[in-house]
Structure 1
Amino acid sequence: MRTLAKRAREYRRSARDLGMSTAEYAVGTVAAAAFAGLLFKIVTSSEVRGLISGIIRRALSLAG
């Protein structure tokens, strides 16, 4: 049977790599915000807006 101290050491060793650290969260958040900004710029551009409007018009004309 393992001692309590041995089990605690094993747990600490295995728990080190669980989840992300604060720095990794920060990098992930900045990357997600940059991607969202880029996606927003693309979707709100006049070309994409025209494409989406055309798709919606065609879908509505087929439904009616």
Structure 2
Amino acid sequence: MKGQTGFVSMAKRPFSGLLHTIARWQTLHQERRLLASLNDNALKDIGLNRSEVEQERHLHFWQDPMRK
């Protein structure tokens, strides 16, 4: 029926939203760890400084700067 496609697909994958959120948190954690491992010259190349990276690194995993 029209309008039930969202409900049917949600019923087939009830945990897809949760799994997507967990995957996003893991990716965010990896990116923060990678940023922290860069040297100051590499950070300067991408327009960041060490204090900005340290501030980002100390955020909790649920503090997503993109608010997705």
TM-score (norm 2): 0.46
TM-score (norm 1): 0.49
- Bigger Rg, structure 1 or 2: 1
